[in-house]
């Protein structure tokens, strides 16, 4: 019996009991479908994150904060007062409170700048405007992106911020266009908007800025991007009337290093800063936190899919064991006519592999169809503010691996029934009733 004959016979034998085989295929289908969908989600989200990192750039930037005191615990009570330290600052924005950290002082900035490998350092000044208004179309709350001065925006129209310019420039998010009265993104480019901000004495003042571009929402946060000139202008207005004795404190600082620095050199800079009491992160580090969470979620979902496939494997064992019992006399006849045990083993193993292939192929095809449909619906619905995000994407290599793994599980599940069939004594088998 040639190999092609074995394959042909295995396919035909698989459909002798259509109901039993069908139920086994359904179990495999569910596992393969789930595994393909979760793999597609992982591929889609990871591709979007990697695309964001590539588009954002800022490969030569470290965001630096004061490291928390690792030796202090809640049971120790409050730390002793240190007049050399700046006060604590909140990482919240406007009405949204955030975590409170020790502020960086001008002395801290000098220490960071003196660190080997650091080319320059600038304090990240946080401003909280009250509103933005265009052409008298109403005042709307303005959320400011805290990464606008160090990253490259994902533009829908216009140009990037020029941080070396002395003119006040603004990047509007696409979500602001309708409310401010713009017809589209291109219509906003080049226009002048008014920004309201309250100074130290409680008086609201107005600053004008030019919209140089419109940006899409990203994973790094929403909000308008401001160039250095506009940030400095708003900060000056916000601190108008501030007493001379108020010490300056900054939540974070932005340090630049050589863009050609190797991973080992960047690690050495971060270790040096850590030894001095500062925490530092690159954009890639920040994005890595997203990837870690996503990979954990995908791993848990994949575990459930694998459990379903293992359960389906027991279904294959049951199906083939019953098939061996029902075909005992047929097996005896095949062996009596010269078919050796290896060929019998191959025949039943091929049946198991075919059932695994059929279930996995159907599951993968259904998952691609359903996943693509859901991904398009989400892209045009709740994720419309994140252009380029396809939640579910299917990589050919991943699909091939899933089908291969399912077929391997099916083969291993079919080993026991195949061995039972191969070890049948032809004389005893022919007498079986």
Query: What pLDDT is stored for residue 66 in this prediction?
Result: 86
Q: Pairing between strand 139-140 and 88-90?
A: unpaired
Same-domain status, 253 and 360: no
With contact defined as beta carbons under 8 Å apart, do 375 and 43 qualify?
no
In 174-238, DSSP assigns E strands to 192-198, 204-215, 225-226
Rg of the Cα atoms in the chain: 32
What is the DSSP code string of 69-119? -TT--GGG-SPPP-TTSPPEEE--BTTB---EEEPBPHHHHHHHHTSTTEE
Same-domain status, 341 and 360: yes
Instruction: Return d(Cα 206, Cα 212) in angstroms, integer.
Output: 19
Instruction: Return d(Cα 294, Cα 333) in angstroms, integer.
Output: 56
**CA triple 267-117-225, angle to 5 deg:** 85
Instruction: Return d(Cα 407, Cα 352) in angstroms, integer.
Output: 8
Nearest Cα neighbor of 64 from 329, 330, 280, 303 is 280
Residue 56 tokens, joined: 């954002």
Same-domain status, 133 and 222: yes
Same-domain status, 277 and 410: no
Q: Pairing between strand 278-281 and 131-133?
A: unpaired
Nearest Cα neighbor of 132 from 120, 124, 122, 144 is 144
3-class secondary structure, 271: helix
Contacts 24+ apart (CB under 8 A), 18-23: 20/319, 20/322, 21/319, 21/355, 23/315
Number of domains making up the chain: 2
Sign of the Cα pseudo-torsion (94, 165, 182, 157, in order): negative
The CB density around residue 125, as the number of other CB atoms within 10 Å, is: 20
Instruction: Return d(Cα 252, Cα 101) in angstroms, integer.
Output: 10
Same-domain status, 258 and 395: no
Query: What pLDDT is stored for residue 249 in this prediction?
Result: 76
**CA triple 389-390-392, angle to 5 deg:** 145
Q: How many residues does the chain have?
A: 433
Same-domain status, 155 and 237: yes
**H/E element holding 140?**
strand 139-140
The CB density around residue 399, as the number of other CB atoms within 10 Å, is: 20
What is the DSSP code string of 332-354? HHHHHTT--HHHHHHHHHHHHHH
Residue 51 tokens, joined: 């695309």
Same-domain status, 40 and 155: no
Which region holds residue 389: left if phi is over 0, alpha if psi is between -120 and 50, else beta? beta
Instruction: Return d(Cα 22, Cα 355) in angstroms, integer.
Output: 9
In a 13 Å sphere around the CA of 335, the CA atoms on its Cβ side amount to 21
With contact defined as beta carbons under 8 Å apart, do 28 and 355 qualify?
yes
Strand partners, 144: 224
Packing angle of the helix pair 415-422, 396-413 (nearest 10 deg): 40
Q: Please list the pLDDT of the chain residue by residue as tens digits (433 residues).
A: 577 777 888 788 777 778 888 888 888 998 899 889 988 988 888 887 777 665 555 667 888 888 866 555 555 556 666 655 555 554 454 444 445 567 888 889 999 999 999 998 888 888 889 999 999 999 999 988 866 666 677 788 999 988 889 999 999 999 899 999 999 999 999 999 999 999 989 999 999 999 999 988 766 556 888 988 999 899 999 989 888 766 667 888 888 888 788 889 999 999 999 999 899 988 777 777 777 887 888 888 788 878 878 888 888 888 778 877 777 777 778 777 778 878 888 888 888 899 989 999 999 999 999 999 999 998 888 887 677 778 889 989 989 999 998 899 888 888 888 888 778 777 766 665 5
Same-domain status, 176 and 227: yes
Query: What pLDDT is stored for residue 315 in this prediction?
Result: 81
In the numeric block, the tokens 């800079």 are attached to 269
Strand partners, 210: 169, 192
Instruction: Return d(Cα 282, Cα 416) in angstroms, integer.
Output: 54
Same-domain status, 384 and 422: yes
Query: What pLDDT is stored for residue 103 in this prediction?
Result: 82
Same-domain status, 366 and 257: no
Same-domain status, 76 and 169: yes
Domain endpoint, select from 258, 281, 304: 281
Instruction: Return d(Cα 22, Cα 25) in angstroms, integer.
Output: 5
In the numeric block, the tokens 């925006």 are attached to 153
Domain endpoint, select from 281, 303, 325: 281
Query: What pLDDT is stored for residue 96 in this prediction?
Result: 43
Domain endpoint, select from 246, 264, 281: 281
Domain interval for residue 82: 61-281
Residue 228 tokens, joined: 């250095």
Query: What pLDDT is stored for residue 274 in this prediction?
Result: 92
Q: Pairing between strand 169-173 and 204-215?
A: parallel
Same-domain status, 66 and 106: yes
With contact defined as beta carbons under 8 Å apart, do 162 and 229 qualify?
no
Q: What is the pTM of this model?
A: 0.61
């Amino acid at each position: 019996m040639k190999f092609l004959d074995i394959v042909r016979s295995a396919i035909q034998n698989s459909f002798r009991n259509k109901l039993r085989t069908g139920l086994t295929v359904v179990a495999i289908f569910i596992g393969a479908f789930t595994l393909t969908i979760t793999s597609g989600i992982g591929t889609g989200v990871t591709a979007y994150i990697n695309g964001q990192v590539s588009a954002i750039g800022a490969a030569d930037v470290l965001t630096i904060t004061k490291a928390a005191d690792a030796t202090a615990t809640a049971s120790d009570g409050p730390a002793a007062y240190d007049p050399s330290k700046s006060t604590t600052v909140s990482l919240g924005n406007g009405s949204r409170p955030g975590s409170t950290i020790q502020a960086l002082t001008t002395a801290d900035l000098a220490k960071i700048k003196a660190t080997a490998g650091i080319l320059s350092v600038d304090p990240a000044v946080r401003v909280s405007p009250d509103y933005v208004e265009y052409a008298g179309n109403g005042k709307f709350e303005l959320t400011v992106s805290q990464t606008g001065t160090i990253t490259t925006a994902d533009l829908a129209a216009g140009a990037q911020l020029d941080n070396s310019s002395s003119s006040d420039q603004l990047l509007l998010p696409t979500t602001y266009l309708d409310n401010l009265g713009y017809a589209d993104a291109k219509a906003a480019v080049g226009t002048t908007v008014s920004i309201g901000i309250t100074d130290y004495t409680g008086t609201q003042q107005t600053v004008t800025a030019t919209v140089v571009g419109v940006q899409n929402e990203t994973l790094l946060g929403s909000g308008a991007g401001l160039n250095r000139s506009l940030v400095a202008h708003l900060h000056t207005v916000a601190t108008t009337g501030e007493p001379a004795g108020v010490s300056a404190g900054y939540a974070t600082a932005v340090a630049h290093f050589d863009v050609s620095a190797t991973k080992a050199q960047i690690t050495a800079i971060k270790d040096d800063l850590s030894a001095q009491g500062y925490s530092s992160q690159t954009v890639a580090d920040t994005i890595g936190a997203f990837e870690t969470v996503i990979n954990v979620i995908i791993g848990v979902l994949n575990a459930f899919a694998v459990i379903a496939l293992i359960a389906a494997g027991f279904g294959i064992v049951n199906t083939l064991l019953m098939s061996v019992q029902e075909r005992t006399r047929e097996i005896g006849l095949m062996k009596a006519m010269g078919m050796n045990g290896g060929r019998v083993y191959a025949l039943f193993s091929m049946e198991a592999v075919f059932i695994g292939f059929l279930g996995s192929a159907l599951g993968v095809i259904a998952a691609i169809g359903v996943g693509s449909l859901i991904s398009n619906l989400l892209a045009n619905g709740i994720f419309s503010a994140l252009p380029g995000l396809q939640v579910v994407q299917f990589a050919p290599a991943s699909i091939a691996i899933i089908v291969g793994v399912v077929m391997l599980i099916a083969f291993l599940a079919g080993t026991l029934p195949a061995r039972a069939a191969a070890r049948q004594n032809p004389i005893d088998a022919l007498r079986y009733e």
